Amino acid sequence: MTDGLVVGTSGNVSVRVGDTVLVTPSGVPYDRLAPHDATGVDLDGRQVLGTLVPTSELPMHLAVYRADPGARAVVHTHAVHATAVSLLVSELPPVHYMTAALGGPVRVAPYAAYGTDALARAMLDALADRTGCLLRNHGTVTYGDSLDQAYDRTAQLEWMCRLWLTAASVPGHAPSLLTPEQLAEVTERLEGYGQRS
């Protein structure tokens, strides 16, 4: 909440632990969540932990875990800049090299009502070979092999959306975009980036 990625009860988060998906409950503000509010479901969506109703976006979270067994966390937000970009384009243009960290230019999934299988399917199509996407008139979805990684990808996506909106708003100028070759070079460099474990 302090990063401005969610407001009130908008957005949701999940973490996969074995065959259980721990997910934020529906309609509970994040600043009021406590450990006893934990909600868990199996990969078929059956509740196995807690008494609070899981997020209405459960179909999206489960779709990611079913599609990519390596996914360990999913973050969905209604971040303002990313949502604004989803209204304007079908793909976030590659304005920064961190586009490569999400697998390439970030696609926008067509609009579908929240909490539906149609939205989950549209999201999966937009996520093909990517770890993040925008949802038209809705928000963002990112995932990763840890909650930290999924969250960092969400924050990076929101920053890139803000960057593009800012640059694109200057009259008489168009933002400079990276080429596929430049993104490929960054993708290769990112493979060795960071500390060795």
Tokens 């509740």, residue? 47
Q: Which residues are catalytic?
A: 57
Helix boundaries (H) for the chain: 58-67, 80-86, 117-127, 147-168, 180-190
d(CA 142, CA 149): 9
Residue type, 133: C
Q: Which residues are within 8 A (CB) of 65 and not within 5 positions of it... i.e. 6 or more apart? A: 16, 21, 43, 71, 74
Q: Which residues are within 8 A (CB) of 159 and not within 5 positions of it... i.e. 6 or more apart? A: none
